[in-house]
Structure 1
C-alpha cells in the first residue's frame, strides 16, 4: 500500500515537473507591451458609422487590420492634428507592417464634419487613416462604449465653437479585440514597439 501511494506521489510530481517548463514558456510568450494592456477590459471594436467616402461601415469591415481608433474633430486646434501627425510618423517608422494598420478617426462634431470634409482632413495626415462620421446619438453611444467623453462648448457667436473630448488612443488587434490604450503623450518608440509586436501576431 505504501509502495502504491509512493508511486502515485512520484507520478504526480513527475507530471508537475513536466508542466512547469510549459507554464514558463507560456509566460514568456506573452508580448512585452510598453503601452497599457487593456485586453479583457474593453469591448471589441463594434460600430455602425459612415466612412469618409460616404460608405456605411461597421467594426467588422476592419477585421484583419490592426485598428487605431481616436475620437476628435477637424476644427480641433491642437491635440487632434498633433495626434494624427504622431500616428503618421509612427506608421512610417513601422515600415512594411504598417500596411496591416488603419487609423480610425471618429468625429465628435457631426454638425460640421461631413464625409467629404473628413476625407480631405485625414488624408492630409496619412493615407492609411479613415474618417468616420455618424449621428450625435451614434457617436455618443460609441464614446460611452469605450469610456470616452466629449462636450460641445458654447458657440462664440460667430458659428465657431470647440469640442472638449477625451484623448485616449485605442488599439485593436486584427480580430477586433481591444488590446492597448495610449495617450498622445506616449513616446513614438513605445507605440512603434507595440504595433510591431501586434502586427507580427496577424497572419
Structure 2
C-alpha cells in the first residue's frame, strides 16, 4: 500500500513479466490505513491512464472501504473495474455484491468451490443428484447465475475439463434458493471486516 510503493510495484511487475501493460491489477486487501489505500489507488489510476494497465480493481474490500474509495474517486476520476472476493453459497456477501453490481463492477469469485470443504454438504448433494452433475459443477453454475466470474482452482486435467462443463444446464430459482444458506463461512482470510 502507498503511492510510491504501488508505482514501483507496477513497474517491477511489468518488467519481470516482460510486457508493456497488464490486463488487470488489483489491490489485494484494504490494509494499511486510508492514506495508504488512497495512495495505492491513485497509482493504479495513473498507471491505467498511462496505458500500463487496462483494468483496475480491489480484492477483499468491505463496503466501508468501497464507500471510501468511491468518494476518493470523485476527486481523481478513477473507476473500480473489478472486485474480487471469496464467494460461494456459504459466503455470498450480499451487501458487497449488491454494492459492486449496482456500479457495474465485474465481480470475480475466488474459492468458488469452497476449497472442497463442502462437497458432501446435504444441500449440495440434493442438487448433484437432481442435475446429475458434480458438486463443483453445481457450485460453478451457482456462481455464474449470480453474475460472477468464478475462478476455480485445480491441477487435475479431468477436474479442469469438468469445471468447464457448466454451460449446458441451469439451476432453477428453487435450486438457487436451496443454496441461499445465509451462512458466514469463509475458507480463506477475510479482510473485508478490517476496521482500519
If the length of structure 1 is used for normalisation, what is the TM-score?
Answer: 0.29
TM-score where L is the length of structure 2: 0.30
Question: Which has more helix, going by share of residues?
Answer: 2
Give the number of the structure with larger relative contact order, counting CA–CA contacts within 8 Å between residues 6 or more apart. Answer: 1
> Which of 1 and 2 has greater Rg?
1
